[in-house]
Structure 1
Amino acid sequence: MKFTETSLPGVFTIDLEPRGDDRGFFARMYDVGEFAEHGLETDYVQFNTSFSRIKHTFRGMHYQLGASAEVKVVKVIRGELVDFVLDLRDGSPTFGQWTSVTLSAENRTMIYIPRGCAHGFMSMTEDVEMQYFVSNYYDPAAERCVRWNDPMFDVTLPAKPAIISDKDAGAPDFDPVWHLGRES
């Protein structure tokens, strides 16, 4: 595996190193030793999947607070999406900045999203399926969502969302007290 840090410290793309022959190929998607060597989370409690039927479906920007904060490692197994990471880590020098990476079944690239970052994605083809490791269990009381078009962050999507949930579209403008659990 090849680990490349993005413009946001702690956010990595992970490219597989397939070994192939006439039958096809084999590649490792996870190796506890290699993840630990790069200072990345090695303990995952869930392995999830998400399917988006319609092109330009947008989901996000989701994260969890405090002890419920989670690391995600995302990989697309069918179709293509653009994955977005928004840095909401308190005290981070890149707080409020975002990055995006194209993930597809063809490029087999994965993305590592650390705790404290909001995550979202837009399907760029029909019938997109992704899988992701999660380091913590879902906690509805700690769940937060940042509206993708909050002017404070200026996240730029590659297309107008064809489908977005009412919850995601109606997320409130950023408020450090609610979004970060800070005392004012």
Structure 2
Amino acid sequence: MPEVRELELDGVLEIVPAKFADERGFFSETYNAAAFAAAGITLDFVQDNHSLSVPAGTVRGLHFQTPPFAQDKLVRVVRGAIFDVAVDIRVGSPTFGRWVGVELSAREWNQLLVPKGFAHGFMTLEPETEVVYKVTALYSREHDRAIRFDDPTIGIPWPEGFTPLLSPKDRAAPLLAEVETGFRYEETST
């Protein structure tokens, strides 16, 4: 059973799968639908993605897909380390524009669950960092969006000591105020 930690933004979770090590190495179930369901996480993942970022300081994000191709993401690092961020982009949410960040690493073996309605991005903290993540909707170029990683209204204090390296798409990304996210906050009462 994985350890599940609630973070400051509703629905964003840090998950630490069990890891069984011996002199040969280790074994870990990084995702088990039954164990996740027992922890209250019932998502249908349909695609796995894997990225390699060679230099430390590589920034990927802030990315999201609009409905009906919105994606929940389960992010983990298999080599190296990242500062991983989720930003609430649900218009009308009491936490709209707020962010939460966690250092994910192969060493700590932790994961971040980023729900629909949140933009996601990360900065690599080590060279040759590999990130693997599961998503609940297939990639759709028409629904793919980005927000500037350094949007001052969001105010993410990215790790210091790195020169951010971005793709042309991410360098040209608009500010959150200039983006129609496609997400509306709906408060649910119990």
Give 2:182's aligned residue: 180
Q: Which structure 2 residues correspond to residues 5-154 of structure 1 after superposition, within 5 A?
A: 5-154=6-155
Q: Distance in 1 between matches of 2:106 and 2:179?
A: 39
Query: Would you say the 8 A contact 1:58–1:161 is kept in 2?
Result: no
The unaligned stretches of length 5 or more in structure 2 are: 185-190
Query: What's the TM-score, normalizing by structure 2?
Result: 0.88
- The more displaced of 166-175 and 133-142 is 166-175
Q: Distance in 2 between matches of 1:142 and 1:98?
A: 22
Q: Distance in 1 between matches of 2:17 and 2:181?
A: 34
Q: Distance in 2 between matches of 1:174 and 1:121?
A: 17
Give 2:187's aligned residue: none
1:157 Cα offset (Å): 0.6
Query: What's the TM-score, normalizing by structure 1?
Result: 0.91
Query: Would you say the 8 A contact 1:41–1:71 is kept in 2?
Result: no
Q: Distance in 2 between matches of 1:72 and 1:47?
A: 10
Q: Percent identity?
A: 37
- Cα distance change on mapping 1:117 and 1:22 into 2, 3 Å: same
- The more displaced of 22-31 and 48-57 is 22-31
- Cα distance change on mapping 1:42 and 1:174 into 2, 3 Å: closer
AA of the residue aligned to 1:73: L
AA of the residue aligned to 2:132: Q
Deviations 1:128-162 (A, max 9, x none): 00111111011111111110111221111103543
The unaligned stretches of length 5 or more in structure 1 are: none
User: Which SS does the other structure have where 2:68 is aligned?
Assistant: helix
1:176 Cα offset (Å): 6.3
Q: Distance in 2 between matches of 1:55 and 1:22?
A: 31
Aligned length: 182
